[in-house]
Structure 1
Amino acid sequence: MTNDRGYLGVTPPISTAESNEREKEVTLTLMEELRRQGTFESDEEARTRELVLGRVSALVKKFVQKVGIARGLSEASATAAGGKIFTFGSYRLGVHGPGSDIDTLLVVPKHVSRDDFFEIFEPMLREFDGATEVAGVPEAYVPIITANISGIPIDFLMARLALSSIPEDLSLQDDNLLRNIDERCVRSLGGSRVANEILRLVPNVQVFRDSLRCIKLWAQQRAIYSNVNGFFGGVAWAMVVARICQLYPNAIAGAIVSRFFIILYQWSWPQPVLLKQIEEGPLQVKVWNPKLYPADRSHRMPIITPTYPAMCATHNVTASTQMITTEEFKRGADIVDKVIVGTAQWSELFQKHDFFHKYRYYLQIIASTGDADLQIKWSGTVESRIRQLVMKLEYVDSLILAHPFIKGFEQVCYCLSEEEIRAVAQGEISETISKRKKEDIEGKEGAGPVHTTTFYVGLAIEPKQPGATGPRRLDISYPTTEFTKLVKMWEKFDETTMGIVVRNIKSSLLPDNVFDPGERQPKSAVKRSKGAKSSNTSPDMPSSKRARTSNDPSPKDAPVKTNDNGTLPPIALTPVVETAGAFAPKESSGIKSPQLPFGENVAVATGAQ
């Protein structure tokens, strides 16, 4: 496990000292807190996962056999072709919790195509006993099928190897398996290969798992766990924890977690995180090389995977999400410093985020359809493009940052008319509609369900300069227009069945479903000045909801555009119009100079890699 210099990683450890008594004490309290937070699954759920994976393994072999017979193989040859599943992600790393999904890779022989994966395996999954919510996304960067089997969420990827059969003892760590396969298969194999390599490169697997379980909970609670939205994903968090374990090979979990926050906060980005030195692989294809790194400066917080082909696990990080993540590292460093000296509890580290209390204005992105299965694909497509919206918003004058929330909020409303359908798709859900049940609309003409997934982006606005007078205007029409054009470019987009609406909303008007039960709704930071008008300028909103701005062409008779063909409405754009003093952010988002609570030598810590 060590290199020829006697240590793991690309640089020597910062310290090889054993953890002291205080670090042992805080490790015990940390594990107690993790158990109190419910991060460990029950024995019953663990057994269910094992049973489900066993059944899935048998299904994969049946799938490969079925395709083989269809390709003209004999029954014996088709059966001998095998087919094998590998897990990766949190389940493979041993840090999954109750309700976590299982990332599963199907490895199949060369006679099975990717089309077979979606045209044959997906229908087989739909008919599989206990399977629900089956949805394939073949056009994804890494093509995927999601499903829920016996209450266990599973994500399926597929990799087709250039082999006539898949042996039961197959190891994916052999780089030569990547020969003569397409890029999508290489990407699909990457998850399992990286997880295996991470476990190989840490000095103590149990310490790594305990530490990573803590960091995952913290990142989820603080709403910074989402690769698709520009934060660190599961692989990135695992790699940085593994790197801290390499730097302190004899430390236990409490010590690893405390040093994690200290080092990550003052890390000299874009210096990359590397678990091992990456060289050119046996395929002689140019991969990431530290000497070539200056050409890749677009990566703001680079974390490079340790297997061939090396990739940046954090290429989605934007200027805004980097600022937010760094602030959370600072907060974490302050808290763990207090935990070590006994003036704070671990529970403070895991306090819930304040996203829906933090900003005065938010963008609300609503994806809607009338079909549950279609909604999964459509909302996923919209979510995957939100990072592009954030990047465009970052260029807007007076906008300090655009803060995307890490998940969408799903809702099903049962509507009796086209007018209600249109209103729901635009986020206007009355109490009557919200309480209506499915049986209330059955058999009624023109009635139907509307499935919506709503995403949010918090807007931190630059404070008004001293002495400035009059209202200011924050024009976000270009970023929002470009975003909706982008999502509508999806090859399966159908304006008659899919809706996309982008509008701004004040914090005081956020819907109840973004808050936990009993959580107090946010209040406006600044009262609206007398005579100030609503900033909702959507041409698709009902006239009773639409307010006029100084740029409206006709003060009295401007028509309200509506969609009269019975379809879900097209985009509603709402540039934010600001009245004097209304956009002062609630909290400063400036990043302060690094502070090292433990008095670590800055040069040593920043030079760790």
Structure 2
Amino acid sequence: MLPSQGLSKNLGLTKPISLTAPTETDYIRNNQLQKFLEDAGLYENSEDASKSQHVLGRIREIVKDWVKQLTRLRGYPDQIFKDANAVIFTFGSYHLEVHCPADDIEMLCVGPSYVNQEDLDISAVSVLYGVDKPSVVTLNGCRVADLIPKLVPNVEATGFLGDASWALLVARVCQLYPNDIPCMLVRHFFRVYTQWRWPNPVLLCAIEDDELGLSVWDPRKNPRDRTHHMPIITPAYPCMNSSYNVSDSTLRVMREQFQFGNKICEEIELNKSQWKDLFEPCMFFKSYKNYLQLDMVAADADDLRAWKGWVESQLIKLTLMRKEGEVIQQGQQFDIRGTIDEFRHSVNMYILWKPGMDIYVSHVRREQIPCYAFPDGYKPSRAPRLQQRKQSSHIDHGGSSGSASAGRQLNKEFDEANVQGSVEKCEYRASPQDP
């Protein structure tokens, strides 16, 4: 899709930063980016797209038949049985058409015992009437995905990153640079968020209130909203912060990665780097000296699957349990046994715990990591990308960067201080039988 010349409507809260049209060089770089993404297998071919549509259609039929069966079994009149229906909405990356071939399709089924004959408009506020709070949150996933394309000019699939927060960040850049083609949006994305003054919120449109009285993101009224470090506000009512769980430390990592991406994009403009350099995998198991290893066991495969899912859902707490705002100085010693004990307590709250479900937490050094944890089953000898870039560039770590996982942030804290010897010698076992 070619950029429109002269937008008649401003889609964001502010005027665009630039209306500059792409140059011939931009189109060349854009073709290079598209070829790289195609070669990486990130585009869904027509056959896969047709299969997805077939699966969605079949699911809609199954859900509709299921609702009708329930309506008949519960003794509703014939007319209600005739009108009984269920509606399937997609959201997330599939709805935004930025999904990869192997991605899941996120779906929401709106299926009470019966529904109105008229089509249900998911973007209308009326859909929230009489709905409990958990359902409001679920419905908003679809409503946000439905609104993003309407609030972004010249929608290009390669301009989105996937998850809701990243899609909202990209959408805001699309508003600020409405005539950009994808390669320009990538460059401006990193430039904008390298300079963004958090916790100023990212907004696609004004925050609206409604007679429903549902809570919306408003730091003036809600004390909890004032503690958010990186507010990225959803555009659908009730407006929420999609990144409420970002901590001060993870925001620092994201800022660092924004700066890293910005530097690579600048090098691409100068023909000193290629697109593959921006997408080069991070050698996680070569980037740090110390790691926490979690071993989970259960009586059988089904129990292990459930237990593993629960433990993984609690991992974020392992980093958030670190005292927020605590500054770790180089060479400073700290003891994480209390943090691990808190994590154990959190894991022990699993209401579906069964005998045999245990977790072991231990400290391992980089050289102890087994080969199977690395790509192709062997440890690379070259220095990790992150360390190479830090040596060749001057990054302001006072306001660093990124979207790091819970494990990555804890490892970062490990390497910024000397872990007390008692921690690396201990193995922590967590199960409801522990004292």
Q: TM-score, normalised by structure 1?
A: 0.60
Give 1:293 deviation, angstroms.
7.3
Q: Displacement of 1:60 after TM fit?
A: 0.7
**1:7 match: secondary structure:** coil
Paired position in structure 1 for 2:111: 108
What is the letter of the counterpart of residue 339 of structure 2?
P
Cα distance change on mapping 1:65 and 1:504 into 2, 3 Å: same
Does 2:427 align with 1:538? yes
Q: Give the CA deviation at 1:39.
A: 0.5
Query: 1:61, 1:79 within 8 Å by CA — same for their partners in 2?
Result: no
SS at match of 2:361: strand
Q: CA deviation at 1:519?
A: 4.3
Tell me what 2:387 maps to.
none
Residue 261 of structure 2 aligns with which residue? 332
Determine the C-alpha separation between the residues in 1 that align with 2:20 and 2:223.
35
AA of the residue aligned to 1:11: T
Change (3 A) 1:281 1:539: closer
Q: Following superposition of structure 1 onto structure 2, how do residues 225-374 of structure 1 map, counting pairs within 5 Å?
A: 234-289=163-218, 291-292=220-221, 296-374=225-303
Aligned residue identity for 1:10: L
CA shift in 2, pair 1:290/1:376, >3 Å:
same
Q: CA deviation at 1:355?
A: 1.6
Give the gaps of 5 or more residues in structure 2: 1-6, 385-414, 416-420
| Structure of higher RCO (CA pairs closer than 8 Å, 6+ residues apart) | 2
Q: How far apart are 1:30 and its partner, in Å?
A: 0.8
Name which of 18, 31, 37 aligns with 1:15. Answer: 18
Tell which structure's C-alpha radius of gyration is larger: 1
Q: Is 1:498 paired with 2:357?
A: yes
Q: How does 1:52-451 map to 2 (within 5 A)?
A: 52-74=55-77, 77-109=80-112, 111=113, 164-167=114-117, 169-206=119-156, 209-212=157-160, 215=161, 234-289=163-218, 291-292=220-221, 296-394=225-323, 400=328
CA contact (8 A) 2:92 2:141 kept: yes
- Residue 464 in 1 paired to residue 331 in 2? yes
- What secondary structure is seen at the aligned counterpart in 1 of 2:358? strand
Contact 1:211–1:241, Cα closer than 8 Å, also in 2: yes
Q: In structure 2, how many angstroms separate the alpha carbons of the residues matched to 1:307 and 1:396?
A: 32
For residues 373 and 167 of structure 1, do their structure 2 counterparts lie closer, same or farther at Cα, with a shift above 3 Å needed? farther
Q: Is the partner of 1:464 in helix, strand or coil?
A: coil
Who is 1:480 aligned against?
Answer: 340
Per the alignment, in what secondary structure is the counterpart of residue 393 of structure 1?
coil
Q: Is the 8 A contact 2:247 2:324 kept in 1?
A: no
Counterparts in 2 of 1:211 and 1:523: CA distance versus 1, 3 Å: closer
Larger helix share, 1 or 2: 2
CA distance 1:69–1:372, change in 2 (3 Å): farther
- Checking the alignment, whether the CA contact within 8 Å between 1:203 and 1:246 is kept in structure 2 is yes
Equivalent residue number for residue 219 of structure 1: none
The amino acid that maps onto 2:44 is E
Counterpart Cα distance in 2 of 1:279 and 1:511: 52
Question: Cα distance, 1:289 vs. partner?
Answer: 3.5
Moved more, 50-59 or 39-48: 39-48
Change (3 A) 1:539 1:50: closer
Which letter maps to 2:178? P
8 Å contact from structure 2 (residues 13, 204) kept in 1? yes
**Cα distance between partner residues in 2 of 1:355 and 1:536:** 23
What TM-score comes out, normalization by structure 2 length? 0.83
SS where residue 184 of structure 1 aligns?
helix
Aligned residues: 394
Q: Which amino acid aligns with 1:536?
A: K
Deviation, 1:485, is: 0.8
Q: Deviations over 1:113-152 (max 9, x none)?
A: xxxxxxxxxxxxxxxxxxxxxxxxxxxxxxxxxxxxxxxx
Q: In the alignment, is the contact (CA less than 8 A) between 2:360 and 2:427 conserved in 1?
A: no
The separation in 2 between residues aligned to 1:534 and 1:311, in whole angstroms, is 39
Instruction: State the secondary structure of the residue aligned to 2:424.
Output: coil
Contact 2:121/2:127 (<8 A) preserved: no
Give the match's secondary structure for 1:86.
strand
Using the TM superposition, give the Cα deviation of residue 354 of structure 1 relative to its aligned residue in structure 2, in angstroms. 2.3
Residue type of the alignment partner of 2:427:
S
- Over the residues paired in the alignment, what is the CA RMSD in angstroms? 2.9
2:376 counterpart SS class: coil
Partners of 1:539 and 1:481 in 2: CA distance: 8
Alignment of 1:33-52 (within 5 A): 33-52=36-55
Q: Which amino acid aligns with 1:281?
A: D
Deviations 1:269-317 (A, max 9, x none): 0000000001202424442247547762221111000001111000111
- Are the aligned partners of 1:484 and 1:571 in contact in 2 as well (CA < 8 Å)? no
CA contact (8 A) 1:320 1:394 kept: no
Task: For residue 347 of structure 1, report the CA deviation from its aligned partner.
Answer: 0.4
Q: Secondary structure at the match of 2:20?
A: coil
CA distance in 1, matches of 2:103, 2:368: 32
How far residue 341 of structure 1 moved from its aligned partner, in angstroms, is 2.0
Q: Secondary structure at the match of 2:241?
A: coil
| Aligned residue in 2 for 1:453 | none
Q: Take 1:294 and 1:347, find their aligned partners in 2: how far apart are those partners?
A: 43
**Secondary structure of residue in 2 paired with 1:297:** helix
- Cα separation, 2, equivalents of 1:535 and 1:165: 59
Q: Normalized per residue, which structure has more strand?
A: 1
Deviation at 1:5, TM superposition (A): 9.1
Q: What is the percentage of aligned positions where both structures have the same residue? A: 36
- How far the C-alpha of 1:266 sits from its partner, in A, is 1.4
Unaligned runs of 5+ in 1: 112-163, 217-233, 401-461, 466-471, 527-531, 541-567, 574-609
Q: Contact 1:107/1:166 (CA < 8 Å) preserved in 2?
A: no
TM superposition shift of 1:46: 1.5
* Inter-partner Cα distance in structure 1 for 2:368 and 2:237: 49
In the alignment, which residue of structure 2 is the partner of 1:546?
Answer: none
Structure 2: distance between partners of 1:524 and 1:569: 38
Residue number in structure 2 paired with 1:596: none
